[in-house]
Amino acid sequence: MLTAIRVLASRFLGLFRREHFDHAMDEEFQSHLEMLADRFVSQGMTRDEALLAAKRQFGGVTQIQEELRERSSLAFIESLWADARYALRQMRKSPAFAATAVLTLALGIGANTAIFTLIDALMLRMVPVEQPQELYQVQFRVPQGGQPRDSITNALWENLRARQDVFSQVASWGQEQFNLAPGGAVQRANGVWVSGEYFGMLGVAPEVGRLITMADDQPGCAGVAVLSYDFWQRHYGGAAAAVGSTLALNGHPFTIIGVSAPGFYGLNVGGKFEVAAPNCSTRLLDGDRPRLAGRSYWWLRVVGRIKPGVTPQQLSARLGALSPQVWEAALPQDWDKDGQNNFRHRRFFAVPAATGLSDLRQDFGQPLAVLMAVVAVVLLIACANVAALMLARATAQQREIAVRMALGASRLRLIRYLLTHAMLLSAAGAVAGLVIARWGTTMLVATLTTRNRTVFLNLSLDWRVLAFTSGIALVTALLFGILPAFRSTQLPLTAAMHGATAGRTDRTSPLRRWIAAAQIALSLVLLITAGLFLRSFTKLVQLDPGFDRHNVLLVNASLRSTNLKSDQYIATFDAIQERLRALPGVAAVSRSRMTPLQGGQWSNLVFADSDAGVKAHDDTFLNAVTLGYFAILRTPLLSGRDFSAQDRAGAQQVAIVNQTFAQQSFPGQDPIGHILRISQSDGTKGPPIQVIGVVADAKYNDLREPMKPTVYLSVAQLTAQQSTNNSFELRSTLPLATMRGAIEAAVASVSREVPLEFYTLAEQVDDTLVQERLLAMLSGFFGAVALLLAMIGLYGVLSYLVTQRQTEFGIRIALGAQPSSILRLVMSDTFAMLTGGIIVGVVLSLATVQLLQKMLFGLSPHDATTMLIAIGVLAVVGLLAGFLPAHRATRVDPMVALRYE
Amino acid sequence: MTERKSEVFQGTLDLMVLKTLEAMGPLHGYGIARRIEQLSEQLLRLNEGTVYASLLRLAQKGWIRSAWGTSENNRKARFYSISAAGCRQLAREAENWERFSGVVGRILQMQSEG
């Protein structure tokens, strides 16, 4: 072993002593030969005879020198270096070939790197904290509850923290969007509530000042805040004086105590925290309904550092064993018996949290996997193109290769050279690909960002991305390099040396047809995939959601952080609505508690007194609206009446129900006049609510779900607690940007403290389609790239075949063949490749598209229309690509063609 | 193309070179070739160049050292000498060789049974 290392080291040093070694060897051999010759002379030979005899006895001097040279250093590296230099020279001689190959590869490798970078950033990267692999997140299972959940109440957290003995440290945090503006347009900051242990457990250091500790997180604490490094740079220019100053969060002053170190963005992958405040200070914002005390307020997530010596299995088992006491101690007293029973049987367990947590993973995990497959296919097609290019190059270099082989270069040596050439091209492609990927990922992340969710991912290069890119560059080089290398070194020497035209000895053309057909097949798979996603997206966009999203502005206003008393809320909203109605350009204004597809839902158990008795409907969606809401959203009122000014607080409570609710609760009856009751938080039924109208169904939460039973209440009849937050719907043809100033001024004339958020309904709907848009856009783009590459491939093969058969065509034309028959001859080649490619492509698609099922809306993965369109597009473009060379074939001048012979 | 000599032959040659250097002290390539020729009583005719391949192998393994000097008839020559590691290796190899040649010898003298 040691000896082997010593030999390797000696050889490695030999790499740098080549000249010295050669010189010494020459000298040594020379003196040996002369000593031998001296001996022969002394035995009676002449000097000349003696020298000759000496050489004979020594053996082939050159061979031995060669053998020693090879042994003296790492011959492999030396010849590799020589090959590389030669390949570079070749590339400089034909820059067009090199540029085309590198560009094609850069596109393929770049696309793969871009998607992989996203997967890495979202799924694989460890959070940049101390020993992330020791971190575990606490989740829990609900009896018959499906997916595990991870948000818990403060009571659960405090009990868990007090009783657990398997984490060396454990911390909780909750996310919050803070508003930094004192009033008017909202200025959002990504906030995080943290328990006192949070920063210490993660081992995050302060950049300036200090971070939140246990001392800051005590009942009745004052408001303190820690800024993230980025936020501090952006808002305070990195001034140390920021520490000690005050920051208003939702209108409440918080003292800045420090800034966290750069590079720490929190545990939520996909977002980044900007302001952190201790859990205890939520009470400053919560008013009379503190979440610290709310036993039904699920806002905290828990992560802990596992104790040394505890296995993950033991951790989960122990948390499970602790669960009964913890849940019992945090039982919400206002839940009904069933609810409490369910609550008591919830069980904790732990999952690894080294890569942080992310809501994005669920949404984008699958789409990213699909995109990864798509770009892999694009790379395959790109490989095929470059392989075809290499084959063409090799044909051009055939005579040179033949000469080198005749001079004694082994076939293996030549293959090695050709592969080195391929590696160089691939490496250049990878470098350019990394640049393309950087640009591409930044753009991709931007498309993931919506108004409600700013996506931030750490996209800096890490070893995984670099390893991935180098890996695919290597595989790519082998893919496109091996076949041409073997093919082009397998040729009858004499024919090639005689300089017979490439066509005669070229046996690569069947191979090229196969490559072109394979490209067509693969690009058809991508076209079909793209078609499915595009059509699925179009269906969603064109779907009638039950409301008209155009020309509706949404203004969300919250009164929670104002100085208003809660019994003034409804009157204040009424006043604002009046001012908005008076604005020029506003046709109508309504107000509601929820807006369509805003994300989040308000639902409850509803009892309906139908003619057939009382029916209970779990998960009935609720909303509260004013008169005019349905008219503005253009949701037709099917029967009964809209709300009116008489439906105010204190009057008989009324409701309008949607069609689905009417059919479910009052089958075959007229729902108008019937009574509903909504379940209260203590499990009792609420006051009677009379149904006064029925409206058409409209999507509530998600365009993809079926219509849900919905009950609309009157805003004026809500409790004060339910009225802190309202949205105004303004029907106006003016763009939001124009209206914004006037709206802010109108609201400010009522109160300057009201924070406002602006959307258009169309944007709000669009933002729910990010995933579909991403898939449609990218698969469409890559489908087009694949088609382009395949067509370049097809065009290349046909042009090549036409050039090869130029003489034949010349003769045919000279003998009186019509151009049309020549055209038919070439086009039949095109047909053959297209047909073969399409058949294989269809079979491949049928076998794979099933995987897309879950991501499609309103169409089957085997959708025939999509498939036919894709085939049609491919066939038309393919025939066009084939027509150009075919047309050229008909124009062959017989005289010119024959002169080549 | 160079013919690849069998591993056994290479090993044997290396062993002979090593033993020669141990027995004779520092020697140049020519001298080693002469000594082997002499001891083998002309039975083993080798291309003398292969001695150098052997010397390079041994040098890379650290079993011999070399230094430039002047030969007896006043020519510049490289003198090789065995190192301490080489001596140890030689002892091991010699023992192996004796055991091996003994076994081979016995097998070759085996009578057919029956």
Q: Which residues contact A522 (CB under 8 A, 6 or more apart)?
A: A377, A380, A381, A384, A786, A790, A841, A844
Phi, psi for B5 (deg, rounded to 5): -75, 155
What are the start-end ranges of the E strands in B10-75? 27-28, 64-70
The shortest CB-CB distance from B61 to any of A6, A34, A66 is to A6
Give the pairing of strands A301-306 and A167-179.
Answer: antiparallel
Choose, out of A42, A64, A69, A73, the residue to mutate when testing the contact with B (most B CBs < 10 Å).
A64
For the cut 60, the answer to whether the pLDDT of residue B7 exceeds it is no
Query: ∠ CA(A701), CA(A705), CA(A709), 5° rounding?
Result: 70
For the CA atoms of chain B, what is the radius of gyration?
16
Q: What is the band of B61 on the pLDDT scale with cuts at 50, 70, 90?
A: confident
CA distance A8 to B60: 8
| Radius of gyration, CA atoms only, chain A | 38
Q: Which long-range contacts (CB under 8 A, 24 or more apart) does A491-495 make?
A: A491/A398, A491/A401, A491/A402, A493/A402, A493/A405, A493/A406
Query: In the numeric block, which tokens belong to residue B81?
Result: 């000498």
Nearest to A802 by CA among A842, A829, A832, A765: A829
pLDDT for A896 equals 73
Task: For residue A611, give both structure tokens.
Answer: 């003619």
Which of A596, A578, A597, A602 lies closest to A588 in space, CA to CA?
A578
Asked whether the beta carbons of A426 and A105 are under 8 A apart, the reply is yes
Better-scored residue on pLDDT, B102 or A210: A210
How many residues does the structure list for chain A?
A: 901
Distance, CA of A29 to CA of B29 (rounded, Å): 9
Q: State how far Cα A584 lies from the chain centre.
A: 43
The count of other CB atoms within 10 Å of the CB of residue B89 is: 21
pLDDT at residue A84, rounded to an integer? 85
A35 contacts in chain B (CB < 8 Å): 30, 71, 73, 75, 77
Tell me whether residues A64 and B50 touch, CB distance under 8 A. Answer: yes
Alpha-carbon distances of A579 from A277, A575, A613, A718, A745, rounded to whole Å: 37, 6, 45, 22, 10
CB contacts of A40 in chain B (<8 Å) are none
* Residues ≥6 apart with Cβ < 8 Å to A657: A665, A671, A676, A691, A693, A694, A695, A709, A710, A711, A712
Q: Which residues of A touch B (CB under 8 A)?
A: 3, 6-7, 10-11, 24-25, 27-29, 31-32, 34-36, 38, 57-61, 63-64, 66-68, 71-72, 408, 410
Q: Write down the pLDDT at residue A820.
A: 87
> Cα A619 to the chain's mean position, in Å?
33
Closest CA to A680 of A426, A271, A425, A335: A335
The strand pair at A252-260 and A206-209 is best described as antiparallel
Quick one: residue A290, left, alpha or beta (phi over 0 = left, psi -120 to 50 = alpha)?
beta
Cross-chain CB nearest to A10 (options B30, B60, B73): B60
Q: Which residues of B touch A38 (CB under 8 A)?
A: 73
The C-alpha atoms of residue A534 and residue A782 are separated, in whole angstroms, by 12
Q: What is the pLDDT of residues A481-538, one digit of tens each?
A: 888 888 777 766 555 555 544 444 455 678 888 888 999 999 999 999 999 999 999 9
Count the alpha carbons within 13 Å of A327 in the hemisphere toward its beta carbon. Answer: 19
Q: How many CB atoms lie within 10 A of CB A168?
A: 13
CA A868 from chain centre, in angstroms, equals 29
pLDDT for position A547: 95
pLDDT number for residue B2: 36
Distance from CA of A485 to the nearest CA of B (A): 22
Q: SS3 for A468?
A: helix
From chain A, the residues in CB contact with B77 under 8 A are 28, 31-32, 35
Instruction: Evaluate if residue B1 carries a pLDDT over 50.
Output: no
Interchain CB distance below 8 Å, B30 and A36: yes
Nearest residue in chain B measured CA to CA from A66: B2
- Contact between A653 and A713 under an 8 Å Cβ cutoff? The reply is yes
Most A CBs within 10 Å, among B47, B80, B89, to test the A interface = B47
pTM of the model: 0.78
How many Cα atoms sit within 13 Å of A738 on the Cβ side?
A: 9
Of B48, B56, B76, which has the smallest distance from its Cβ to A27's Cβ? B76
Whether A202 and A172 have beta carbons less than 8 Å apart is answered as no
SS3 of A692, please? strand
CA distance A514 to A793: 11
B32 neighbourhood in chain A, CB within 8 Å: none
Of B28, B48, B59, the CB nearest to A57: B48
Please, are residues A129 and A357 in contact by the beta-carbon 8 Å criterion? Answer: no
Beta-carbon contacts below 8 Å between A and B: 72
Q: State pLDDT tens for residues B18-33.
A: 888 888 889 888 888 8
A728 three-state secondary structure: strand
- Helix H, strand E, coil C: the string for A218-240 is CCCCCCEEEECHHHHHHHHCCCH
Nearest to residue A165, comparing CAs of A1, A300, A314? A314
Spatial distance between the Cα atoms of A888 and A559, rounded to a whole number of angstroms = 75
Residue B44 pLDDT level (bands cut at 50, 70, 90): low
* pLDDT of res. A399: 76
Which value does ipTM take for this structure? 0.85
Q: Report CB contact under 8 Å: A68, B47.
A: no
d(CA A573, CA A756): 12
Report which DSSP code applies to A243: T
- pLDDT in the model for residue A282: 93
- Cβ atoms of residues A563 and A572 within 8 Å: no
Spans of chain A below 70 pLDDT: 1, 491-508, 681-683, 897, 900-901
**Three-state secondary structure call for residue A357:** strand
Over 50: is that where the pLDDT of B97 sits? yes
- Tell me which of B3, B51, B55, B56 to substitute to probe the interface with A (most A C-beta atoms closer than 10 Å): B56
Q: pLDDT tens digits for A132-141?
A: 999 999 999 9
Cβ of A24 and B78 within 8 Å?
Answer: yes
